[in-house]
Structure 1
Amino acid sequence: MNDIDQERAFRQTGWPGVRARLFHLFFLIRRPMTLGVRGLVYDRADQTVFLIRHTYVPGWQLPGGGVEQGETMEEALRRELAEEGNIAITAAPVLKSMHFNRQASRRDHVGLYLIEHFAQSAPKSPDHEIAEAGFFRLDSLPQATTPATLRRLAEAFGETAPSPYW
C-alpha cells in the first residue's frame, strides 16, 4: 500500500467526515489561525509510547489538541495529556518540531513535544472522546497507527528528517 492509499484509509467519510469539517469550520470562524499540540510521551526504560484512539476519528495517534485563546502551547499540552491520558508532565517537555497540518485546513499548525518525564495517575478509561489509550512498544505499535503518527515517531527517534507537514 503506497503513502496516498495509507492516508486515504484514515480519512473520515460520511457523518464523521462532515462533523470533522464542521468542527474545523467552527474554529476557522472563531480563530482564523489554529494551533495545536501533540505529545510524544516516551518511557525510555520500557521503550514504549503513549497512544490514543479517539471515538470520532480512525486510528491510533499521539495525544493532543488545540491551543485555546490565552493558553500557551505547554499549558495546552499539559491539559490535553491530563484529559486524554491521566498523564502529568514532571519536567519541561522538549519542542521537537512544528508542522503545517494542511489536511485540517490551510491555516493549522501543530507543535510536537517529547515528554520523557511524566507520571500517570491511573490508566485512561474510555469516555466520550477517548475509545482506547495505552503504552505500546516501538517495535509493536497497533496496526491502525496513523501514518502521521508513524512519521512523527520516525522523525523523533532519528530515522528520518522532520517534515514541515503533519
Structure 2
Amino acid sequence: MFQLLPVIRRLRHGLTLGVRVLAHDGEGRLLLVKHSYTPGWHLPGGGVDAGESAAAAAHRELKEEANAQVEGPLELHGLFFHPAYGGRDHVVCFRGRVRGGPAPRPNLEILAASFFPFDALPPDTTPATLRRIAEWRAGMPLSEAW
C-alpha cells in the first residue's frame, strides 16, 4: 500500500517538485538514506508540500529522515527534470554541511540513514546519487535529468 503514495501524489498534482540534499559532515562523509519503497541508497529528501519553499522542505526532510541539521546556508546544486515520475517531476538539489544526531529508528519510509566516506559509498548507491556527487566533487557538467 505504501508504494501507492507516489502514484496518488502524481494523480493529485499537475506538477511535482522534490528536493534532495548533498549533505556532508565535517569529517568528509556523505549522508545517505535507504527507503523502504525503492532500492538503493539515496540522498536525503522528498516532496515539497503546498505552501512550503524548497529550502524549507530540504531542512524538514533532513530532520525527518536522518535527524540532521544544516550548519549555515544551503547552496543550490541544480534543478533537474525527473522523467520517471509521469513526465512532470522536478528535483531541486542542494548542498550543505550538516551535523547529525542519533539516526532515527527505522520506520515505514526510512530503513536506514548513515554517513559514508566519499571513497567508500555503498555498492547500491543509486546512479542519480552518483551523478550528483560527480557533478559536485569531480566538476562534471550538470545534467538536465535526475
**What TM-score comes out, normalization by structure 1 length?**
0.82
Aligned AA (2:17): L
Pairwise CA distance, 1:140: 0.5
Runs of 4+ in 1 over 2 A off after TM superposition: 22-25
Q: Is 1:90 matched with 2:71?
A: yes
- Show the 5 A alignment for 1:40-119: 40-43=22-25, 45-116=26-97, 118-119=98-99
Corresponding residue number in structure 1 for 2:140: 160
Question: Matched residues in 2 for 1:55 and 1:24: separation?
Answer: 13
Indicate which of 113, 118, 127 corresponds to 1:138: 118
Counterpart of 1:40, as a letter, is L
2:21 pairs with 1:36:
no
> Are 1:53 and 1:133, in contact at CA under 8 Å, matched by a contact in 2?
yes
8 Å Cα contact 2:77/2:95 also seen in 1: yes
RMSD after superposition = 1.6
Contact 1:24–1:105, Cα closer than 8 Å, also in 2:
no
Mean CA deviation greater in 153-162 or 99-108: 153-162
What 5-or-longer segments of structure 1 have no aligned partner?
Answer: 1-14
Q: Distance in 2 between matches of 1:136 and 1:96?
A: 20
- Residue among 93, 98, 104 paired with 1:124: 104
Q: Does residue 129 of structure 2 align to residue 149 of structure 1?
A: yes
Report Cα offsets for 1:103-131 as digits up to 9, x if no partner: 12200000110011x32222232122111
Using structure 2 for the length normalisation, give the TM-score: 0.93
| Contact 2:10–2:85 (8 Å) recurs in 1 | no
Aligned counterparts of 1:54 and 1:25: Cα–Cα separation in 2: 16
Where does structure 2 lack aligned partners over 5 or more consecutive residues? none
Alpha-carbon distance in 1 for matches of 2:70, 2:116: 19
Specify the structure having the higher radius of gyration (Cα).
Answer: 1
